[in-house]
A and B are shown apart, each in its own frame.
Chain A
Amino acid sequence: MWWSVFRRLFKRHPSVSSRPSPPDEPARATTDRGDLLEQLELLFNKSDDMRLRRFQLGDSGGRRCAVIFFKGLVDSDRVEEAIVRPLITWSYAAEKVGGNQTRLRDICDRFVVASDAKQVTNAHEASDAVLSGDVLFVFEGDREGLAVSNPGGQARGVQDPILEVTLRGPRDSFTETLFINTSLIRRRVRDPHLRVAIQEIGTRSKTSVALLYIEGITPETLVNEIERRLDGIELDGVLDTGYIEHLIEDEWWSPFPQHLKTERPDKAVAGLYEGRAVLIADTTPFALIMPTTFDSYFHSPEDSYDRWLPVNLLRVVRFIAALTSLVAPSLYVAFVAFHPGTLPTQFLLRVKAAREGVAFPILVEALLMMFFLELIKEAGFRLPSPIGQVFGIVGGLVLSDIGVRAGIVSEAMVIVIAITAISSFSAVDREMGTVLRLLGLPILISTSILGLPGLVLALILIATHLSILRSYGVPYLMPYPYFRIGDMRDTVFAAPMHHRQERPKHLGAKDKRRLRKSKEVADSKDEKGGSR
């Protein structure tokens, strides 16, 4: 793995994404023409959650038929109500009249009480339909069937976001059901130009993945590129958008995430309005927003809801926090172990006093504390939340206090690591926070070799990497280069809404304008008022 990371380090134009070799073909229903019911029985014979209900249409001489579905995926009550009952009732009535309609088309058109039904012509289609939660109606010995959509089964409702907590702003969050998620977005974009392109990814999981974009804003090149990359995926199962993310990102070896993940529909929609595209997968409560820039990991949707002046303060704090979580332990090591001359005298003496009697060198101390931090954090996550919180506090306090008393670490190091932890947790994006904290490790090692110059060199390396990195062709560090004033209005600094009239240029949105100047609006209102 490291070889290949290293190789890519010096590779000029890395390929879009490396694709996995195609898996061995899964057991699939053949497309042979034959008795559909028999084929399906054979295909699913070991699936005990499959339900097959055979019944006869009419008294005697009526054709035998069956409905097939998976329990749990389908609302069983509604199967009776919508399919079985109408058919049986009708077949008796029809027998009395003397007709015996057995053509699927007629049944579909006249008797099936469902909003969505389609004809399937082979076992492959039929099995796909059944697996995706349809109810299949077939005549015995027939080669065709009727797939009736009968959504049901268990799904979580829309709840509060868990990771991206908000003080102000909508409280709904994505769920595991694709169409609930698209509906959450559609409610916010009542624009016929919102496109939802659904495709199935995963040779075995057949997960529905929806690509959302607003035609007329999102550049076509972006949509084409995403579709090209999605088409390149041949994976057995997609359990989360994370799978897709890893396969379509620009540089898989980069530590930096290149897609923005969110569980908040408002954040996804904000991305859509900026000219980005959103990817939603069934069974995943996280949407991917792309392309992504480094900056966007430090933006919260709340920033646009709150007043702009305090938001500016918060953003500056976030960026400083990001930098702190990256370099705090390294800075401490550099100053204390390499350049004690830089420390104010009184502070130097304090640190020196604290260090007296500590068993380990500062570097080992720093590594130990960073390990403790990850340990406490990880354990806190894994434990049930009430215990987790208590554990975090107790673990942190006890470990640091006893650590200091036992001479394993010094007080100053506890403070430094605590600041690092708090800083990294204050990042808006959890993943970016973790990445920054972990990147602190190579920086720390570089610092322990060369002191402050080593720290700067490591930062140069990271900055170089960031400036090389692109997300779907958009440089990761946009919009900072060359100070395009228009794009700088929503970066470290957030301009008031009045001044954010245009979409960010670097995203290449087709419709550039998003707000008319307030003066124009006021003028037009004045005119209206005057005419009245």
Chain B
Amino acid sequence: MRENDKIPPKALAVMVVSAIAELNFLIAPRDVVDAAGRDAWLSTVLAIVVLLLCAGIIITLIRRYPDASIVEIATRILGKPLGTIVALSYAIYWLARAAYVLQAQTWIFAQSLLPNTPLWVTSLYIVMISTYTARHGVEPMARLFLIFIAGYLLPLFLMIGPSYEGALLDRLLPAMEDGLGPVIKGVWIAFSEAPGLSILLILGPFLTGFRRALSSAMIGVILVAIPAVAVMVIVVAQFGTLDVVQHVFPTLALVELIRFPGFSGFRVDPIFLSVWLLVAFTSIALSHYAAASVSAGLFGLNNDKLPIYAIAGALAMWSLWPVALPDLLNYGLRVRIVAIPVAELFLPALLLTVSLIRERSLSSTSERGA
């Protein structure tokens, strides 16, 4: 009776949104504006194009190996030693990503909502729930995150409308004043703020088919893209580039300004932050699961139960590492601008290219043989 652990390709849109959207909505505007100035929105749009390209590469790659996990894909393409290294680095990458989001999340709570609560309380609580979620596999997770999409879209829509009041679009003008350089830099930063697409690499074996998988993944990217661009536009239009780069969480500052007529004193930022926890949680849980799933593949386990607990432990320890928030964000940025393009774009592209070349050489040798 039990349906097996498979998800329809449609669910990829949900997975993509869950994987990408996290606290980057709160933090990224500052870094991108810092790099691209007024053209932050343009950089974001272009970064989304790159992200769509990534989705195309990854989906093409996993479609070529429909029932293979990332470990199998990598070893089949690059051989055992190199493939293992690639898979292992993905495991570490996803673990690091989960730990980063977790730590940033606990910091945000500590900064604005729960100043006296020890960081580890929030952190362990989230790790525990993430373990429970990851423990039951991809399919329930996909259904769960579909519900959480509401927790992603609703606050955004509620925020974008009212926070537009008082915004001046002329703060975005003129476009590309300093030429293409800052825009390109902004694209790089903006792309580095949106990790998570690579989690699609482990989803291949869980899909019931690949029909419209690509379009579904792209819909997911678009679902992230539209609010991301809107937030970028409004943040700059409301505060101007000078002010945005001064804020640690510019989007949060935007939310703090929202007023509802007739409700004096009614502030939505604690509600927004709490609901946004859903969005951060989906990224943590997915990365948690992805790291565990790769570890299981690496150790040849047929059950990912043990890796999930192990990763949970690693996650908890990593997130409890005492780092000051500015250091976390600065190190995070420095690591991200290298790690994320490599993991999300270059490695999948490399795998795909090698795979294509091998196939061609194979077919040519077989032709020659014939």
Q: Which residues of A are in contact with B by a Cβ distance under 8 Å?
A: 9-10, 12-13, 221-222, 225, 338-339, 341-346, 348, 449-457, 460-461, 463-464, 467-468, 470, 472-473, 475, 477, 480-482
Tell me if B2 and A470 are in contact (CB < 8 A): yes
In the bound complex, CA of A457 to CA of B277 (Å) = 8
CB 8 Å contact bits of B256-285 with A (1 = contact, 0 = none): 000000011111101101110110010000
Residues of B near A468 (CB, < 8 A) are 136, 140
Tell me if B8 and A10 are in contact (CB < 8 A): no
Tell me if A342 and B125 are in contact (CB < 8 A): no
- Contacts A12-B135, A343-B265, A461-B132 given; does A450 touch B125 at CB 8 Å: yes
- Contacts A342-B271, A453-B109 given; does A10 touch B144 at CB 8 Å: no
Residues of B near A346 (CB, < 8 A) are 264-265
Task: Determine how close the nearest CB of chain B comes to the CB of A227; give it in whole angstroms.
Answer: 12
In the bound complex, CA of A472 to CA of B1 (Å) = 7
Stretch in contact with the other chain, from B73-81, B113-121, B221-229: B113-121
Tell me if A343 and B277 are in contact (CB < 8 A): no
Tell me if B113 and A344 are in contact (CB < 8 A): no
Residues of A near B135 (CB, < 8 A) are 10, 12
CB 8 Å contact bits of B272-312 with A (1 = contact, 0 = none): 01110110010000000000000000000001010000000
- Contacts A449-B121, A468-B136 given; does A480 touch B305 at CB 8 Å: no
Tell me if A456 and B275 are in contact (CB < 8 A): yes
In the bound complex, CA of A499 to CA of B303 (Å) = 44
- Contacts A9-B132, A467-B140, A480-B147 given; does A339 touch B1 at CB 8 Å: no
Task: Determine how close the nearest CB of chain B comes to the CB of A360; give it in whole angstroms.
Answer: 21
Tell me if A450 and B121 are in contact (CB < 8 A): yes
Tell me if A345 and B3 are in contact (CB < 8 A): no
In the bound complex, CA of A339 to CA of B271 (Å) = 9
In the bound complex, CA of A467 to CA of B117 (Å) = 30
Tell whether B126 is near chain A: CB-to-CB under 8 Å. Answer: yes
- Per CB-CB distance, the 8 closest pairs between chain A and chain B, nearest first, are A473-B1, A345-B265, A452-B274, A467-B144, A339-B270, A481-B143, A467-B140, A344-B266
Task: Determine how close the nearest CB of chain B comes to the CB of A529; give it in whole angstroms.
Answer: 44
What are 26 A-B contacts defined by CB distance under 8 Å?
A12-B135, A225-B1, A338-B270, A341-B265, A341-B267, A341-B270, A342-B267, A344-B264, A344-B266, A345-B264, A449-B117, A452-B273, A453-B109, A453-B113, A453-B277, A455-B274, A457-B126, A460-B129, A461-B132, A464-B144, A470-B2, A475-B3, A480-B147, A481-B146, A482-B8, A482-B10
Q: Please indicate which of the listed interface residues A457, A475, A480, A481 has the most CB atoms of chain B within 10 Å of its own CB.
A: A481
Residues of A near B351 (CB, < 8 A) are none
- Contacts A341-B267, A468-B136 given; does A480 touch B146 at CB 8 Å: yes
Tell me if A467 and B132 are in contact (CB < 8 A): no
Residues of A near B133 (CB, < 8 A) are 460, 464
Residues of B near A472 (CB, < 8 A) are 1
Residues of A near B132 (CB, < 8 A) are 9-10, 461, 464
Tell me if A456 and B278 are in contact (CB < 8 A): yes
Residues of B near A463 (CB, < 8 A) are 144, 147-148
Residues of A near B140 (CB, < 8 A) are 464, 467-468, 475
CB 8 Å contact bits of B119-161 with A (1 = contact, 0 = none): 0011001100101110111001111101110000000000000
Nearest A residue to B265 via CB reads A345
Residues of B near A475 (CB, < 8 A) are 3, 140, 143
Tell whether B101 is near chain A: CB-to-CB under 8 Å. Answer: no
Task: Determine how close the nearest CB of chain A comes to the CB of B297; give it in whole angstroms.
Answer: 17
In the bound complex, CA of A305 to CA of B305 (Å) = 48
Q: Which of B11, B109, B143, B303 is A467 in contact with, Cβ under 8 Å?
A: B143
Task: Determine how close the nearest CB of chain B comes to the CB of A290; give it in whole angstroms.
Answer: 11
Task: Determine how close the nearest CB of chain B comes to the CB of A327; give it in whole angstroms.
Answer: 12
Residues of A near B143 (CB, < 8 A) are 467, 475, 477, 480-481
In the bound complex, CA of A457 to CA of B280 (Å) = 11
Tell me if B131 and A10 are in contact (CB < 8 A): yes
In the bound complex, CA of A483 to CA of B287 (Å) = 25
Tell me if B136 and A453 are in contact (CB < 8 A): no
Residues of B near A461 (CB, < 8 A) are 129, 132
Nearest A residue to B105 via CB reads A453
CB 8 Å contact bits of B40-77 with A (1 = contact, 0 = none): 00000000000000000000000000000000000000
Tell me if A342 and B268 are in contact (CB < 8 A): yes
Nearest A residue to B303 via CB reads A12
Q: Which of B3, B8, B117, B148 is A450 in contact with, Cβ under 8 Å?
A: B117
Tell me if B144 and A451 are in contact (CB < 8 A): no
Task: Determine how close the nearest CB of chain B comes to the CB of A211; give it in whole angstroms.
Answer: 16
Residues of A near B148 (CB, < 8 A) are 463
Residues of B near A482 (CB, < 8 A) are 8, 10-11, 14, 146
